[in-house]
Structure 1
Amino acid sequence: MKKTVLMVPMIMGIVLGMPAVSGANPLSTQENRTSVATVGSTAKGSVTSNSLTEKALTENSTQLSNLIRRAIGEDYQRISLYHQADAQREMGIASATYMDPKLRFGAANVPVDSWSLTDDSMTNLTLGVSQQFPRGDTLQLQKEKAFQQADVTEDNVQLRGLAVAQSVSRLWLQLGYLKEAHSNLSTRIELQRQLVRQLETNYALGKKSVQDVLSVELAVSTLEEKLDLNWQQQQQIQAQLSEWLGADWLTSNSANAASNQVQWQSLDGLLSQMTVGDHYPQFKQHPLLHQADKRIAIKQTDIALQEQNYKPQWGIEVAYGDRRASSMTTGKAPDVASAFITLDIPLFTSNKQDRSVNAAKYELGSARLDRDLLIQKMNAQVNGLLSDLNGLQQRTLRYCDHLLPQSQAHLAAVKRAYDSNTASFAEWVAANVNSLALQLDYQQLVTQTNQTKADLAYWLNAFPVDVIELTHQRSSF
C-alpha cells in the first residue's frame, strides 16, 4: 500500500508531462481556498460590464466617425468615379458640337484627250466647303443625356461612400466583439488552469483520477485553441480595414479602441418613428432611388432623340471654280461659283422612325417598373432589418432582465456553498465559466444589434457621421 501511494506522483508526472517529485507536500485545504478567492476576484474584475456609460458610447461613436471619415477620404474608388463622371460630361460637350466642315479641292471638267486646264472653258479648279447640320435638337439632347449619365455615376460615388461606411462599421464592431471575447476566454482559461492545479493536488493525494485531470486539461486546450482563432480573426479584420485605412494603420494601436457598441443617435431618432410597413418617405433620398429617377429621365431623353429622326438633316456646300481657258469673245473665261443645300426627307417612317420611338417608349416603361421593383426590394430589406432588430432587442432584454441576473445569483449561491464546504471547487469554477459564457453570448447579441443598425444606417443614411456630405469632397490623390 505504501508503494502504491509513493507511485502516485510519478504516475501523475508521466501522464501530465510534469517532473515527478517524491515526497512533495500538497497544498492544504486552506491554501487552496486562499488561491481560489484570489482567482475569484480576478475573474470578477475581468468580466466586461453589461452596458456602457453615455460617455463611453459617445467616445466609441467618435472613434467610428473618424474611421469612416478617413476611409471615405482615402477611398480611391470614390475619386475614380468622380473622374468618370467628369469624363462623361466632357464627352457630352464634345458630342454637342457641330461636325467639322469639309474642304473640297480639285479640278473639274478636264478634257481627257489633252489633260489641259486651258483648252476647254468648262475646265476649272474648284475649292469648296461643306457643312452638315444635325436633325432638330439632336446635339442638345445628346449633351443632356451625357450629363444625366454623369449624374448617375456621381450617385455611384454616394453609394460607394455608404457601402464603405457600412463595411467599416460592421468590421469595427466585430473587432470590438472579438476583443471582448478575447478577454472573456482568457479569464475562463485562467479559471480552468486553477482547476487543473487543484485536481493535480487532489490526484497526488489519491482523491481524483487521472481522467479528471486530463478532462479539464482538454477543456483548457480547447479554450486556448479558441483564443488563437480569436487572435487570427482579429488580424484578418484589421487587414480588411487596411483596404480603406492604409497599410500604416496595421502598425498603429488604433485597433485597441475598437468596441462592439456605439451611439446611433440619428438612427435611433428615425427608428422611433418607424414600424414594419411602407418606408418610402424614409429612404426616398437614397442614391439608389436617385439613380432610378435619373435612368427614367435618360429614357425620356432617348425618346426625344428618336423623335428627332422625323426631322430632315440639312447640309450646305459652297464652291468656287477658277477657269484657266480663254473665252472666244471676252478673253479669259470668267470664274464660276456654286452653292447647294442638301437634306434628307423622312418619308417612309413606319419601319424605322416609328419603330425606334416605340422601342424607346418600351424602355421607358421598363425603367419605371425597375424603379417600382427597387422600392419594393428596399422596403423589404428595411422591414427585414427592423424585424431582426426587434428580435435582437427582445433577446438582449431577456439577458439583462433574467439570464445575467440569474447567472450572478447562481454564482453567488455556489460561492457561499463553497465557502461553507457544501460545494466543490469544480462546481465553483463551472458556475464562473457558465456565467462568463452567458456574458459572451450577451456581447454577441449586442454586436449583432449594432451591426444590424449599421445595415439600417446604409438605407437611411444615418451613420454617426453624414456620409453623403463626405462624398461631396472631391479631393484627389
Structure 2
Amino acid sequence: MLWIYTMRKFRRWTPIVLGVLFAMPVAYSMAAESTAASKQQAIYQSTEQLNRLINQAVSSDFKRASIEHQSQSMREQGIADATLPDPKIKFGASNVPIDSWALDDESMTSVVVGIGQQFSRGDTLNLMKQKANQQADASELSAQLRSLDIARNVCRLWLQLGYLNIALDNLNQRLSFQQQLVKNNETNYSLGKKAAQDVLSVELQVTQTQESIDANKQLRAQVVSQLSEWFGAEWMSSNDPSLASNVVQWPRLQPVFEHVKPGDNHALFMQHPLIKQAEKAIAVQETDVSLQQQRYKPQFGVEVSYGHRDGKLMDGSNAPDVASAFVTFDVPIFTDNKQDRAVNAAKYKLGSAKLERDLLLQQINAQVNQQLTTLQGLDQRITRYRDQFIPQSHSHLAAVTRAYDSSTASFKDLVSANLDHLSLELNYQKLLTEQNQTKANLAYWFDGFSPAALGDHINHYQF
C-alpha cells in the first residue's frame, strides 16, 4: 500500500517537477537575452554620449580656434605680399643756385614732381600668393589634426573611465564577500573552529581591497579632471562620468577591423591630414623652387617726373617746363654664387620634404601594423575569455554553490569561488577596454572620427 501511495504522489508531482525543469533553461535564456539587450542599450547610450562630448570638445577647443586664426592670417598676409609695392612720389627742386636760393634766377632751376613704380621679377607675385595659400592649407590641416587628437584622447579617457566604473563595482562586490568571510571566521574563531591567523588574513585582504577602492576613486577623479579640460569644471560634478562605458560601437570601422591585416596599409591612411600636410609641405617647396627661379629674370622699375621752371631764357622768354621718364632694371649676369645657389638650396629642401613624407608613411604604417597586431591578439584573448574562461567559471561557481548547499564545501570555498569569478570578470573587462582603446587608435588613422554634417552649419564628429 505504501508503494502504491508513493507512486500516486510521484505521478501527481511529476508534471510540476518536469515543468519546472523545462522552464529553468527557458527562464535562464530569457534572462540572458534581457541582460544582453540591456548591455547593448547601455553601449549605444554611452556611444551617443561620447559623440556629443567629442563634438563639444572640438567646438570649444581654444587651440583649434587659434590654428584657424593663424590660417586666415597666412591667407591675408599672402594677399598683402603678392601685391605690388606702393608707388614712390618724388617732390623737390633741382639745379637751385646756392648764392641766392631763388627758383627764378636760372632757367635750369625747376620744381619737380615725380612718381615711380617697382615691378617684381617674372611671376614672383603670383607664386608668393600661391605659396601663402599652400601654407594656409597646411595650417588648416593642423586644425583637423587637432580635432582628431581631441577625439582620440576623449575617447580613450571615456573608455578608461568606463572601465574604472566597472572596476569599482567589482571591488565593492569583492569587499562584500570578504567582509562576510570575516564575520564567518570571527564566529568560528569564537567557537574555537578557526585560528587567529585565519581571521587576520581575511582582515588584511579586506584592507587591501579598501585600498584598491580608494586608488580606483583617485584614478577616476584624475580622468574626470583631464576630461574637464574640454568640458569645464562643472562637468566634474555632473552625472555624465557615471554614463561612461569601456565599450563603444564602431559601425564605420567594423569592416576595416574584420578584413585589414598587418602589412602594407598605406592606401587606408593616405587621406589622413598628417599625410596631406606632408604633401602640402612638398607643394610649398616646389613653389619655392619656382620662386627662386624667378631671380634669373630682371626686375623693372618705371619713373616719370614733371619739372616746372620759373626762370627766363637768354632771349627773355619763359623757360619751358620739362618732363622725364626712366625705365630701370637689373641684369642677373653673374649667377654662379647667387641665383644658382639659391635654386639649388630650394631643390635640396624639396628633396628633404619628399623624404620626410616617405619616412612619415613608413612610421605610420608601422604604428598601424602594431595596433592591428595588438587588436588581433586582444580579439583572440577576448574570445577565449568569452567562450571558455567565463562559462567555465560560471560552472565552477555553480558547482561550489551546490556543494556548499549540500554541506560538502565550506563558506570559505564559496567566497573563494566568487572572488575568483570576480577576478576573471575584471580581467575580461580590462581586455575589452584595451580592445576599444586600440580601436580608438586605429580610428585616428582610418578616418574613424570623420565629421558628418548633422546640422545647418556645424560639423559633428561621430563614429
Give the TM-score normalised by structure 1. 0.86
CA contact (8 A) 2:113 2:306 kept: yes
Equivalent of 2:168 in 182, 185, 191: 182
Say which SS state the counterpart of residue 122 (structure 1) adopts: coil
What's the CA shift for 1:469? 6.1
CA contact (8 A) 2:451 2:459 kept: no
Equivalent of 2:294 in 299, 305, 308: 308
Which AA in structure 1 matches 2:446? L
Equivalent of 2:68 in 77, 82, 91: 82
What's the CA shift for 1:474? 8.3
Structure 1 gaps of 5+ residues are: 1-44
**Does residue 219 of structure 2 align to residue 233 of structure 1?**
yes
**Does residue 357 of structure 2 align to residue 350 of structure 1?**
no
Which AA in structure 2 matches 1:467? P
**Does residue 282 of structure 2 align to residue 296 of structure 1?**
yes
What's the CA shift for 1:115? 2.3
Tell me which residue corresponds to 2:383: 397
Distance, in Å, in 2 between the alignment partners of 1:136 and 1:470 is 47
CA contact (8 A) 2:64 2:143 kept: yes
Q: Deviations over 1:302-322 (max 9, x none)?
A: 011001101100001111112
Tell me which residue corresponds to 1:334: 320
Distance, in Å, in 1 between the alignment partners of 2:197 and 2:261 is 56
Moved more, 379-388 or 232-241: 232-241
Count how many residue pairs are aligned between Structure 1 and Structure 2: 427
**Does residue 256 of structure 2 align to residue 270 of structure 1?**
yes
User: More relative contact order in 1 or in 2 (CA 8 Å, sep 6+)?
Assistant: 1
Distance, in Å, in 2 between the alignment partners of 1:469 and 1:305 is 39
Equivalent of 2:205 in 219, 226, 229: 219
Equivalent of 2:84 in 73, 86, 98: 98
Tell me which residue corresponds to 2:451: 467
Moved more, 52-61 or 447-456: 52-61
Which AA in structure 1 matches 2:207? S
CA, structure 1 residues 390+173, in 2 after alignment: closer, same or farther (shift >3 Å)? Answer: same
What's the CA shift for 1:445? 0.2
Equivalent of 2:135 in 144, 149, 164: 149
What's the CA shift for 1:406? 1.8
**Coordinate RMSD, CA, aligned:** 2.1
Tell me which residue corresponds to 1:173: 159
CA contact (8 A) 2:453 2:459 kept: no
Percentage of pairs with the same residue: 54
What's the CA shift for 1:272? 2.3
Tell me which residue corresponds to 1:258: 244
Say which SS state the counterpart of residue 111 (structure 2) adopts: strand
**Does residue 82 of structure 2 align to residue 61 of structure 1?**
no
Which aligned segments of 4 or more residues in structure 1 are displaced greater than 4 angstroms? 49-53, 468-475
Say which SS state the counterpart of residue 332 (structure 1) adopts: coil
Tell me which residue corresponds to 2:27: none
Distance, in Å, in 1 between the alignment partners of 2:291 and 2:454 is 36
CA contact (8 A) 1:91 1:146 kept: yes
What's the CA shift for 1:443? 0.3
Tell me which residue corresponds to 2:371: 385
Equivalent of 2:305 in 301, 316, 319: 319
Which AA in structure 2 matches 1:56? A
What's the CA shift for 1:56? 3.5
Distance, in Å, in 2 between the alignment partners of 1:114 and 1:424 is 128
Tell me which residue corresponds to 1:449: 435
Structure 2 counterparts to residues 358-377 of structure 1, below 5 A = 358-377=344-363
What's the CA shift for 1:292? 1.0
Tell me which residue corresponds to 2:186: 200
Structure 2 gaps of 5+ residues are: 1-30
Say which SS state the counterpart of residue 434 (structure 2) adopts: helix
**Does residue 265 of structure 2 align to residue 286 of structure 1?**
no
What's the CA shift for 1:63? 1.8
Tell me which residue corresponds to 2:19: none
Q: Deviations over 1:78-131 (max 9, x none)?
A: 221111111110001111111001111112112223322222221111111111
Distance, in Å, in 1 between the alignment partners of 2:410 and 2:36 is 28
Say which SS state the counterpart of residue 329 (structure 2) adopts: strand
Say which SS state the counterpart of residue 50 (structure 2) adopts: helix
